[in-house]
Amino acid sequence: MKGLGELSKVEHLTEGITVFSVGNRSEALYIINRGAVEVIHEDPRYSDRTVISYLSRGDVFGEIDVLTNQPRTNTIRTCEPVSLQVFQKKDFPELVRRVPSFFYYICQQLATRIVQMSDMAFIQSNCLELSGTLDNFDLVTIYQTILNSSQTGELTVFNEKKETIAVFFFSSGQPKNGQFYHLSGEEAFWQLFLHEKLPGTFSFSICDAPTKNLLQAAPIDRNPTDMLLTALQYRDEFKSYIHELPPSNAVIKRQKLNLDWSDPEFRDLQNVAETIWQTCYITPMTIEELFQRINFCELKLYKTINKLIGDGHFSIEYGDDEDFNVIS
């Protein structure tokens, strides 16, 4: 860690900043510490600019151009405030000497990208079905590939026991409705992306209409790109928030007669607070039980519970096992 710190620097950029453009000299590779960027294909012969994908926390970019000594082949632009770890090409020899495992990590990232690009090409070629393990594919790549393919069909996610945990229907590449366990619509979408890695497998199948499992699912009406960017923001926030979370077996009890939710900073969570308040009106319950009864993702649930506890609306009691368990 000391070597990496001494041989790199951190850059903090605001939204809308171009990190580098097509044709620029390749002098550094980047790792995203926080935030998200968009990868834009720019052909200097034309005016068209096509967003290929979005990258978020933990993703590496710029490494292929640097390692092949080629000019930049894409434009990278921030789509929200970001923090980047920057590794200059001139420092690579010293990095190899002091931190050889860093380049093993870069090789892993490149190998994973090659596998993803090879297999995802099936969707782009109008293949009827694509399936794989979530150990090799991240959900962001799967989602972006479906968007770019403009295919109509269903994405199904299975757990390690081959049980269905999520189903999302896409029309011409755009998500229209979905289910993640008991969550529906946009809340199911947020929960799907909240954790960086889900164990299990996935399958995308071409079909003209949602299956019967999705007939009662809430619709998704937002722009698909906005959906992804919001999901990545939620994931980032959840990562920084997770250390403050109480264990799922913690029991919450109401302490006040009336709910006072007047803090403007948390106005967007008022509906969540009112739902929790009514659900726990008479009977105290564990956070896990509460999660199963309301249609809000974990991040919103925990943020609201912590606020309610901090304001004295609820008290919290811990069970015998205080080890933290992720609810999902």
Question: What are 58-94's pLDDT values in tens digits?
Answer: 888 999 888 888 999 889 999 889 999 999 999 999 9
Q: Which of 210, 241, 272 is the last residue of a domain?
A: 241
Greatest mean pLDDT among 34-38, 189-193, 202-206 lies in 189-193
Do residues 141 and 214 both lie within one domain?
A: yes
CATH of the domain at 311: 1.10.10
Do residues 152 and 234 both lie within one domain?
A: yes
Mean pLDDT over residues 112-129, rounded?
58
Answer yes or no: are the C-beta atoms of 228 and 161 closer than 8 Å: no
Do residues 23 and 93 both lie within one domain?
A: yes
pLDDT digits (tens, 9 = 90+) for 41-57: 765 544 555 666 788 88
Lowest mean pLDDT among 196-200, 274-278, 323-327: 323-327
Q: Has residue 272 got a pLDDT over 80?
A: yes
Do residues 225 and 299 both lie within one domain?
A: no
Residue 170 placed within a domain: yes
Mean pLDDT over residues 179-208, rounded?
89
Domain of residue 84: give its range: 2-98
DSSP character at residue 127: -
Q: Which of 195, 211, 241 is the last residue of a domain?
A: 241
**SS3 string of 157-189?**
EECCCCCEEEEEEEECCEEEEEEECCEEHHHHH
Which tokens sit at 298? Answer: 């974990």
Do residues 138 and 224 both lie within one domain?
A: yes
C-alpha angle 52-53-59 in degrees, rounded to nearest 5: 140
Read off the pTM.
0.69
Do residues 25 and 70 both lie within one domain?
A: yes
Do residues 237 and 171 both lie within one domain?
A: yes
Do residues 26 and 90 both lie within one domain?
A: yes
Number of domains in the chain: 3
Residue partners of 64: CB distance under 8 A and separation at least 6 = 70, 73, 110
Q: Has residue 126 got a pLDDT over 50?
A: no
Residue 115 placed within a domain: no
pLDDT digits (tens, 9 = 90+) for 188-197: 999 999 987 7
Which tokens sit at 66? Answer: 């640097």
Residue 108 placed within a domain: no
Q: Which of 241, 267, 297 is the last residue of a domain?
A: 241
Residue 288 placed within a domain: yes
Which tokens sit at 284? Answer: 């105290």
pLDDT number for residue 121: 56
Residue 205 placed within a domain: yes
Do residues 236 and 257 both lie within one domain?
A: no
CATH of the domain at 84: 2.60.120.10
Do residues 208 and 157 both lie within one domain?
A: yes
Mean pLDDT over residues 317-321, rounded?
65
Q: Has residue 278 got a pLDDT over 50?
A: yes
φ/ψ of 102, rounded to 5, equals: -65, -40
pLDDT number for residue 248: 80
Q: Has residue 320 got a pLDDT over 70?
A: no
Long-range contacts of 23-27 (CB under 8 A, 24+ apart): 23/71, 23/72, 24/71, 24/72, 25/71, 25/72, 26/62, 26/65, 26/66, 26/69, 26/70, 26/71, 26/72, 26/89, 27/66, 27/88, 27/89, 27/90
Do residues 45 and 131 both lie within one domain?
A: no
Do residues 141 and 87 both lie within one domain?
A: no
